[in-house]
Amino acid sequence: MSAEEAMIQQKGQSNVDSTDTEQKGADRVQFRRMLNHVAHGLFLLSTLVGVVVLGVLLYDIIQTGWKWVDADFLNNFASRFPEKSGVKAPLWGSLWLIGVTAPLTFIFGVGTAIYLEEYAKKNWFSRLIQLNISNLAGVPSIVFGILGLTIFARGWGLGQSVLTGALTMTLLILPIVIVAAREAIDSVPSSLRQASYAMGATRWQTIYKVVLPYSMPGILTGTILALSRAIGETAPLIMVGAVTFVYFTPGNIFDAFTVLPIQIYSWTGLPKEEFQEIAAGGIIILLAILLTMNALAIFLRNKYQQRNG
Domain-ending residue, one of 27, 47, 67: 67
Q: What's residue 19's pLDDT?
A: 63
Q: What is the pLDDT of residue 17?
A: 53
Residue closest to 280 by CA, chosen among 55, 60, 53 = 60
Q: What is the mean pLDDT of residues 49-63?
A: 90
Looking at the structure, do residues 37 and 133 belong to the same domain, yes or no?
Answer: no
Nearest Cα to Cα of residue 106 among 186, 164, 174: 174
Verify that 75 and 62 share a domain, yes or no.
no
Residue-wise pLDDT tens digits, 206-234: 888 888 888 888 888 888 888 888 888 88
pLDDT at 198 over 80: yes
Q: Would you tell me how many other CB atoms lie within 10 Å of the CB of residue 102?
A: 20
User: What's the pLDDT tens digit per position in 101-147?
Assistant: 999 999 999 999 998 888 887 778 878 888 888 888 788 888 898 99
Return the number of other C-beta atoms located less than 10 Å from residue 178's C-beta. Answer: 27
pLDDT greater than 80 at residue 155: yes
Say if residue 230 is in the same domain as residue 288.
yes
Residue 7 has pLDDT above 60, yes or no: no
Kindly report the pTM of this predicted structure: 0.80
Same domain, 31 and 141: no
Residue 169's domain comprises: 71-308
The pLDDT score that the predictor gives to residue 13 is 54
With beta carbons less than 8 A apart as the criterion, state whether 241 and 148 touch.
Answer: no
Shared domain check, 170 and 76: yes
Domain boundary, last residue among 50, 67, 84: 67
| Closest among 88, 59, 67, 130 to 248, alpha carbons compared | 88
Instruction: Please give the full DSSP string across 240-303, using - where no structure is assigned.
Output: TT--S--SS--SSTTS----HHHHHHHHHTSSSHHHHHHHHHHHHHHHHHHHHHHHHHHHHHHH
Q: Do residues 152 and 208 both lie within one domain?
A: yes
CB 95 within 8 A of CB 220: no
Residue 115 shares a structural domain with residue 46: no
Tell me the pLDDT of the chain averaged across its residues. Answer: 84
Lowest mean pLDDT among 55-69, 72-86, 271-285, 292-306: 292-306
Q: Which of 67, 83, 116 is the last residue of a domain?
A: 67
CATH number at residue 121: 1.10.3720.10
Q: Are residues 127 and 8 in the same domain?
A: no
Q: In total, how many domains does the chain have?
A: 2
